[in-house]
Chain A
Amino acid sequence: MTVPTGSESPPSATLGGFRDARLYAREALSERSYGRALLAAALADERIVCLGADLSQPTESYLFRDRIPERYVNLGLQEANMIGVAAGMARCGDIAFAHSFCVFVTRRVYDQVAMQAAYPKLNVKLAGFIPGLTTSLGVSHQATDDIALMRALPNMVVIEPAGPEQVGAAVHAALGYDGPVYLRLQMASQDDPSIPLMPLELGKGMVLRQGADAAILACGMMVGEAMKAADRLAAQGVSVTVANMASLKPFDREMTADLARRHPVLITAENHSVIGGLGSAVAEVLALGGLSPRFAMVGVQDVWAQSGTTPFLMERYGLTAGHIEAQVLALRAA
């Protein structure tokens, strides 16, 4: 463990005899983390304010807290109140970033988000962490319906970047939209700086790899799995297109339809329920467009998951490169 130093997180002295360590068992944030992207944006735009619900470390908002405390509010464990407060601040001209885990800025506060952020189309940016099965804390913390919930709200934009290489662009895209945004984020602990930065444009998918036999549309951490699957399929002589659909709403219907026309097999891959997320978004395009490639959805298959490490859960619930590969091969043989 590396202890954050310097400007990142100076531990305060004592409060009533208790030592306020403010440290969390994790490494310092990478250059391409959400926390650094938010701080950079806030230093450039004084309208940006930051709200926390007792999770400044895992939501990477402590950098903002320590550098710009006059625009930071920690509301404690009050997610419902936090959404309303963010909306009130946004109504007065602020751009309010509200932080917690994915489940707690979506499902727990759905009505507050709907009424106080989405209906009035306010600049409330919901920054959620630990998407899908990327937590060892179990079912209470697993967000497998958050994309479905947020996608159903008019005015709401939903973004899930593929990894640290796309987080900066995700924050930029969120700021470029005058209205509410749900950012579905992973903590940036496993950043590989050799991966080049990736842009993100709202409403646009991005083809990362061109093939002819099948197309995989993925989002978030599943983009990496899709690329691995494509490698493995290439070794078997199957050429695969991979598209990163980081903009889940607005959704790139044109690209999706085009991929469906040009490939006999179409697969979606998401760290989310297959109901209401990327798989559903693609299925809507196919059905409404009268398109009929052989189609399958890799994702959580309408079940509650147990707790465990992320690799264990991905294997158990079918979210690995191997599962994507198997689906492509099965549909090709169908």
Chain B
Amino acid sequence: MRNAYSIADLERIALVLRRQVVRLVERVRIGYLQQGLGAADLFTALYFRELRLKEDDPAWPGRDRCILSTAHNTAIFYATLVERGLMPPALLEHYTEDGSPLEVNASERVGPLVEATCGSLGQGLSVAVGMAINARQRARDSRTYVILGDGELQEGQVWEAALSAGGLGLDNLCVILDRNRMQVEGHTDKIVSMDPVGEKFAAFGWNALDVDGNNMTAMVGALDAARDCKGKPTLIVANTVAGSGVPFLEGQLSHLYLLTPEEAARALAVLEETAR
């Protein structure tokens, strides 16, 4: 069963996650702050509404799968798992510390909800295609989701996987493209121009949607539409803003943000204010 949170509930949760992202990055000083804030809404929509998971049984074979293909956006990912009740909160105390299972790039040392160890970019969608084929062959109704980075689209393997998923008509597969237009060296368009992304996937046989990835209503609607689409996999181009939710951070393209304690306090104050 999917959760029945309202849009307002989900928006409140996204604020909680944003505050947690700021706290985690403040703890390590330099981290994936901008990506985490930008993706807070899509993580919320996925983990709190879309994915069928069991808090008391993370390895439940019938669960929906979600692969974080970039693997590095872990502040928001771990915060989400904890808030959703899928991971003990105490683990966050040791985020990225030596010996902690919460590594900078998520690996399956965390447990079964890291559905594949990615981070070597471009591989997550292939694994998801395999999961979707398995579900189809074994007549399971489990769905598979992939959170893909937009810089990651430059990897050739993504297009191999996109071609196969489209050709096989895997309608139990959904990609959420976190289109924050940011990669290590800056704006994606300055590195490799990739638009129009949706049309490219559509040409490969996908149902391509384009939404404001920081609008909860739009995200939830797109996930509903993906589930209703038959015969094709769905790509949701989630146009997100790096640093979303904190005005002085919004739009700052920084792969690894150096967050001062003063900035962290300001960001938390803004997010507290929004929550009221």
Where the two chains meet, the residues of A that have a C-beta atom closer than 8 Å to any C-beta of B are 49, 70-71, 73, 75-76, 78, 80-94, 96, 111-112, 115-116, 119-120
Contacts and interface: CB of A to CB of B under 8 A. Distances in A.
A179 to B, nearest CB: 14
A236 to B, nearest CB: 54
Q: Which among A81, A83, A96 has the highest number of chain B CB atoms within 10 Å?
A: A81
Given A80-B126, A89-B131, A70 B137 contact: yes
Nearest to B123: A84
Nearest to A112: B123
A50 B180 CA distance: 38
A80 B132 CA distance: 17
A65 to B, nearest CB: 14
A76 B120 CA distance: 23
Nearest to A87: B127
> Which 7 residue pairs across A and B have the least CB separation, nearest first?
A88-B130, A84-B126, A85-B130, A81-B160, A92-B134, A88-B127, A88-B131
B115 interface: yes
A88 B123 contact: no
B129 A85 contact: yes
Contacts of B117: 115-116, 119-120
Q: Which among A70, A83, A88, A90 has the highest number of chain B CB atoms within 10 Å?
A: A88
The main secondary structure of chain A at its interface with chain B is: helix
B50 to A, nearest CB: 19
Contact of B164 (A85, A89, A92, A111): A85
Interface in B140-176: 144, 156-157, 160-161, 163-164, 168
Interface in B67-89: none
B138 to A, nearest CB: 7
Given A80-B157, A91-B130, A120-B117, A75 B164 contact: yes
A54 to B, nearest CB: 12
Contacts of A84: 123-127, 129-130, 157, 161
Contacts of A86: 130
A78 B163 contact: yes
Interface of B: 61, 107-108, 115-120, 123-135, 137-138, 144, 156-157, 160-161, 163-164, 168
Given A75-B164, A84-B123, A88-B134, 8 more contacts: A70-B137, A73-B168, A78-B164, A85-B164, A87-B126, A89-B133, A91-B127, A120-B116
Contacts of A94: 134
Contacts, number: 97
Contacts of B118: 115
Given A88-B116, A88-B130, A91-B116, A71 B137 contact: yes
23 contacts: A76-B164, A78-B160, A81-B126, A81-B161, A83-B126, A84-B123, A84-B124, A84-B157, A85-B164, A87-B116, A88-B126, A88-B127, A89-B131, A89-B134, A92-B135, A94-B134, A112-B126, A115-B117, A116-B126, A116-B127, A119-B107, A119-B117, A120-B117
A75 B161 CA distance: 9
B130 A89 contact: yes
Contacts of A90: 130
Contacts of B134: 49, 88-89, 92-94
Contacts of A112: 123, 126, 157
B137 A81 contact: no
A49 B118 CA distance: 23
Given A84-B127, A87-B130, A115 B120 contact: yes
A85 B127 contact: yes
Contacts of B161: 78, 81, 84-85
A135 to B, nearest CB: 24
A303 to B, nearest CB: 30
Contact of A120 (B61, B108, B130, B138): B108
A90 B115 CA distance: 12
Contacts of A111: 120, 123
Nearest to B160: A81
A82 B117 CA distance: 16
Given A49-B137, A70-B137, A92 B131 contact: yes
